[in-house]
Amino acid sequence: MTTASRTDSGFDFRLVVIAVAGGALSGFFGVGGGILLVPMILLFLAPARKVAHATSLGAIIALSFAGMVGFAMSDRVDWVVGVTLGAGGVIGGALGAQLMDKLSARTLRLIFAVVLVVAGVRMLF
């Protein structure tokens, strides 16, 4: 826990703002919310990149679960596909960790960035 950003009275208001913003993004769009949480944690709460990433991912367990319940209440969760997606994601994540040194992260990021832009435009219009 960082103490530098905390006042003696104990509570860091920025923490609440960050948590609410991350949670709202996650629940509204059905994503983890790391895209917002990681830079905000990095900037205000934990300056080490690895810690910011890992702490964000830990919080995302709770965010994604709560958001999932919110969608399930309207019967908008496909349980079978969700579990296989999750299993694939765990395998892909482990594979990614193995391949990390063999592939160029820069090239991959460029490819995925273009994929996002194209998908975004198609969904918008």
Partner 1 sequence: MGSLLDVVLGALIGVVAGLASGLAGIGGGVIMVPAMVFVLDFPQHLAQGTSLLAIVFTSAAGTVVNRRNSNVDVRLALTIGAIGALAAFAAARLANLVDADALRQMFGGFILLAGVRMLVQTLRGETPAKE
Dist. CA 14–CA 12, nearest whole Å? 5
Indicate the residue among 43 and 112 with the shorter CB distance to partner 1.
112
Site size for partner 1 (CB under 8 A): 95
Q: How far is the CB of 3 from partner 1 (least distance, A)?
A: 11
CA distances from 91 to 8, 84, 103, 111 (A): 44, 11, 17, 21
Choose, by CB under 8 A, the member of 9, 14, 23, 47 that binds partner 1. Answer: 23
Which residues in the 72-101 window bind partner 1 by CB under 8 A? 72-74, 76-97, 99-100
Q: Is 4 in the site for partner 1 (CB under 8 A)?
A: no
Dist. CA 9–CA 29, nearest whole Å? 35
Which residues in the 26-55 window bind partner 1 by CB under 8 A? 26-35, 37-38, 41, 45-46, 49-51, 53-55
CB contact set of 46 (below 8 Å; sequence gap of 6+): 2, 52, 55
Q: How far is the CB of 11 from partner 1 (least distance, A)?
A: 10
The answer to whether 18 touches 37, Cβ cutoff 8 Å, is yes
Indicate the residue among 8 and 110 with the shorter CB distance to partner 1.
110
